[in-house]
Amino acid sequence: MSNPREKNVADNEQYHSQPTKNSLSWVPNKWRRLSLKNPASSSSVPKTTVNDVTKDVMDEAAKVPVEDGQDKNESHTLSRDAMEFYNNGDAPYCYSRILGLNKLHTDFWGVLLGYLNDGRLNAIHIEGWVRRMMFLRGAKKRTNPSIEFDWTILPPQFHSEMYDYRTKYGSEYANGMNELYPPFWEVQYIYIPIYVQAIEDWLLVQINLCTMELTQYWCNQKYSKHYGRLIHNGVLQKFDMFFDKLLDAVSYWRRVIHGPYKPQEKGYLKTGLINDDYLPKIGGALGKDSGVFLCMLMYKLVHKKAFTMEGGIEEHCMKFRHVMADQFYKTRFFPDE
């Protein structure tokens, strides 16, 4: 794919950033749309018909309450969307409320849009999509407290933090102390995106707390039948043991008896299940698009919707890249100095 940006950029550049310590201190009660002056349109966004995943995401975002407000530095002529910011940005970097105080340079947008690093999404992109989905979950819950969600999605860094006793095995994502993530005893399903460094691919795991079963959702068919790779590469090695330590650390078994989802029995997590029903039927060598496919898959699984695609997978993934980028960019803000 040709790079439409006129600046000289290296294809192997990658965006590196650390999440903010207090990830919720900057989240507003409602999203507010980016206020623009003299907006210009971007002609590079695909104009073809959107697929079912893309349409669902756009419709969902449109239903979230928003409020217009005067942003700091509103007098600036701001880029209208992510593509325009990447091609001819009004600043070297910008901020998105979804990712807090992470500086989103043009290489962040270039990778997301598919023009840099072969379009392979980094952990910061996946984390951003997880946070967006969790923020919308929280917004819907605040709007309608009676609505029930039986799921939570954890960010990619949870996988490594769960193996670290200094983080109490990732307790902040399980005990309800972090406003973005509900306590485990209030949900049945936990989704965790994991980057497998040895094969440079993404894996999504689903944990059913009622049955204590872990199901693997691979983004490429060539790995979906090779569970041994996971043990060999250490991805799920001792996962069940450390997950059990986490449940004990947050007193899950004592608290879950008062929650809406009762486990069938107490025991170790079973990690051998694989579900490949959602994989593309055309062979499945997604390559650079595996991270994008992962984000689409997370959305469909938590909403319990069939995952169907017509036409080429690359075309669908490219459309979804633009949807993801614009969802991040529309929450652009100027932090207080």
Closest to 196 in 3D by CA, of 153, 151, 175, 226: 226
Decide: 178 and 24 in contact? Cβ < 8 Å.
Answer: yes
CB atoms within 10 A of CB 14: 13
pLDDT the model gives residue 198: 77
Is 318 domain-assigned?
A: yes
pLDDT the model gives residue 166: 84
Is 191 domain-assigned?
A: yes
Is 14 domain-assigned?
A: no
Decide: 220 and 284 in contact? Cβ < 8 Å.
Answer: yes
Is 16 domain-assigned?
A: no
Decide: 254 and 202 in contact? Cβ < 8 Å.
Answer: no
Structure tokens at 261: 């989802």
Decide: 152 and 190 in contact? Cβ < 8 Å.
Answer: yes
C-alpha dist (Å) from residue 209 to 26, 206, 262, 302, 325: 31, 9, 8, 15, 33
pLDDT the model gives residue 285: 58
- Segments of the chain with pLDDT less than 70: 1-76, 221-233, 279-285, 308-311, 337
CA 261 distance to own-chain centroid: 25
pLDDT the model gives residue 16: 36
| Residues of the domain holding 180 | 75-333
- CATH at 122: 3.40.395.10
Is 58 domain-assigned?
A: no
Domain count, the chain: 1
pLDDT the model gives residue 228: 56
The whole model's pTM is what?
A: 0.79
Structure tokens at 142: 């605040």
pLDDT the model gives residue 5: 58
Is 294 domain-assigned?
A: yes
Is 5 domain-assigned?
A: no
Closest to 89 in 3D by CA, of 2, 7, 3: 7
Residue type, 310: E
CB atoms within 10 A of CB 268: 10
pLDDT the model gives residue 32: 35
State residue 84 phi and psi, 5-degree precision. Answer: -65, -35
pLDDT the model gives residue 187: 96
pLDDT the model gives residue 100: 92
State residue 152 phi and psi, 5-degree precision. Answer: -145, 150
Is 228 domain-assigned?
A: yes
